[in-house]
Amino acid sequence: MVIIVICIWIFIYYRLKSNSLNTLAFILGSFGLFTIGIFFFRDIIEEIIMKVQFGILSLFENVITDLDVFYQNSSIIVRTPKIIKNILINYECSGVIEVLVFTSILIFYPIKDFKAKTIKFVLGNFTIMLANVLRMALMIIALKYFGDRVFDFVHLILGKLLFYIIMICMYYFTLSKFHINKCKVVE
């Protein structure tokens, strides 16, 4: 059944492309690849992303005392004089969705140069992971120096705001600026 759905998706994509319906092909291609990635490759992608992010976060263990990063449990333990906080990094917080969205859009984005697309793929996905690590580092620092009372604010508002500002800039520089530079301004 799955193979049939994928074959139908590919067939419809190529029919749209051959009829010069590029916008619809882009939307269908991106959405289809994202859906396939979420349903069939989520665990593999999550494993890779978590290894990279926890590898970077483990560098903070040497700088911040009373911090333990556990890749196997997807958890971060922050100890302060008053509390011990265990932060579990789940599927939604890992950045899997953001990586899949960016990758799906980039693959079907009308950039003909394979080398440029590959560089944008690597830099864009690394930026997403680094932004997520910065968000987690902000939560760790807030817990360590300001206590549990600011955790929800930093996690739900400040951290996500930082993350999405970085995402908007990343999308602009990897995708939008490409087309802006190609456009000619007529005076």
pLDDT in tens, 18-28: 898 888 999 99
The H or E element containing residue 123 is: helix 114-146
Number of domains in the chain: 2
pLDDT band of 166, cuts 50, 70, 90:
very high
Quick check: 170 and 106 in contact, CB under 8 A?
no
Domain containing 134 equals 41-182
Residue 93 tokens, joined: 């917080």
Least confident of 53-57, 78-82, 97-101: 78-82
Give yes or no for a contact between 37 and 45, defined as CB atoms under 8 angstroms apart.
yes
148 lies in the same domain as 67: yes
Give residue 82's pLDDT. 83
pLDDT of residue 184: 59
Say which DSSP state 150 is in: G
Q: Are residues 164 and 103 in the same domain?
A: yes
Going by their DSSP bridges, the two strands 67-70 and 75-79 should be labelled as antiparallel
Residue 181 to residues 69, 102, 112, Cα–Cα distance (Å): 43, 21, 15
Q: Is residue 187 part of a domain?
A: no
Asked if pLDDT for residue 130 goes beyond 70, the answer is: yes
Is the domain of 7 the same as that of 26? yes
Q: 110 in a domain, yes or no?
A: yes
Residues 94 and 165 occupy one common structural domain: yes
Tokens representing 5 are 């759905």
Do 33 and 52 lie in one domain? The reply is: no
The mean of the pLDDT values for the chain is 87
pTM for the model stands at 0.85
What percent of the chain shows pLDDT beyond 90?
Answer: 40
Looking at residue 100, its pLDDT comes to: 95
- The radius of gyration computed from the CA coordinates of the chain, to the nearest angstrom, equals 20
